[in-house]
Structure 1
Amino acid sequence: MLAVNGIPTPENLAEVFPSQERLAKGPVAIAECFQNIPCDPCYHSCKQGAIQEFADINERPRIHFDQCNGCGTCMSRCPGLAIFVVDATFSDNEALVKIPYEFLPLPQVDERVIAVNRAGQEVGEVRVIRVQNSKIQDKTAIVWLAVPKEQMMEVRHFKIKEVR
């Protein structure tokens, strides 16, 4: 239960996940923000108009999935690191999961890392495809992971195998 252990329930997740049809169309942002807090940088960062305007700054973000192109600009603006991009069209057997990351050291392209789920449990080994870390991202890197398609909605973070 979210209020007790911080882990969203399947019902919580169903409220924020795009449909299978939308996932099949390409990259899309998913806002796994489950608290009503005064926060709206994601809305202001979205040039596509995919994040619904907030009537009250304490509302949770709502994404218009049909307007989202999965650019990920909102990810590095989210102070709660609660927005992810999933691309189910990456390959026949892998999806791309873009994860906001604020730790050092940053992983390297082609490095194998340990994917973890929302509870911090290891899901398996995955490959780093790209690491975006530009000045405009304000120290929130975006790490692109190639994950098995069946885990694309489960993988939400990772651990580097060895500290370099």
Structure 2
Amino acid sequence: MNCNGCKKCGLKLTGAPSLEELKVAGRFPSEEERMKGPLAVIECIEEIPCNPCESACPQDAIHVGNPITNLPAIDYDKCIGCGICIACCPGLAICVRDYTYSSSEATISFPYEYLPIPEKGQAVKMVDRQGQVVCDGIILRVNNAPANHSTAVVTAVFPKEYYEQVISIRRL
């Protein structure tokens, strides 16, 4: 899919895509897909020469193709939610969502490049795409491995009913 910020999908009209825009543009997993377990979700809206996510994916689930300015697309039949793509995205536009974490909770793994870095077990405020607090969450783990090139990958758990809204945490 190529998006030029048209009125049809609106992805570039407000600065951050809304959930509705992502769904209309086919950039968010369906209810059926989310039941498969952890999945990468790419909310990239910039048509720039970029494809590290495609190169990093060991399952060949992410495709940018030709031209290199295409928006990345995910094949949810191939994606295993490993999260390798999260830290490699220079636009910080990839997260891994897991709707199946438990009967009442979901998780999200996302890039975090602020200090201080949250710690396992820390209570946090989960935020939406506009930075507004949605619900409370708890940090499950922080991956700050050298392979991530100074981009921590933070995983938080939060109430399942906010699965579609939550995108990150409020800065500490």
1:141 and 2:152 matched: yes
Percent identity between matched residues is: 42
CA displacement 1:40-98 (0-9 Å, x = unmatched):
00000001000024111101000001100000000100000000100111111000111
Partners of 1:59 and 1:35 lie apart in 2 by 9
Partner of 2:131: 120
Q: CA deviation at 1:20?
A: 1.2
- Cα pair distance change 1:61/1:138, threshold 3 Å: same
Partners of 2:65 and 2:129 lie apart in 1 by 26
Q: CA deviation at 1:156?
A: 0.8
User: Higher mean Cα deviation, 59-68 or 144-153?
Assistant: 144-153
What are the ranges of 5 or more consecutive residues in structure 1 without an aligned counterpart? Answer: none
Partner of 1:13: 22
Partner of residue 93 from structure 2, selected from 82, 101, 106: 82
What are the ranges of 5 or more consecutive residues in structure 2 without an aligned counterpart? Answer: 1-9
**1:107, 1:160 within 8 Å by CA — same for their partners in 2?**
no
Partners of 2:49 and 2:64 lie apart in 1 by 14
Partner AA of 2:59 in structure 1: Q
User: Once superposed, which parts of structure 1, at least 4 consecutive aligned residues long, lie more than 4 Å away?
Assistant: none
Partner of 1:40: 51
Give the number of equivalent residue pairs.
161
Taking structure 2 as the reference length, the TM-score comes to 0.89
**1:128, 1:143 within 8 Å by CA — same for their partners in 2?**
yes
Taking structure 1 as the reference length, the TM-score comes to 0.93
Partners of 1:4 and 1:30 lie apart in 2 by 20
Q: CA deviation at 1:160?
A: 4.5
Q: CA deviation at 1:10?
A: 3.8
**CA RMSD of the aligned region, Å?**
1.3
CA displacement 1:89-143 (0-9 Å, x = unmatched):
1111000111111111110111001111001111121100000110001111110
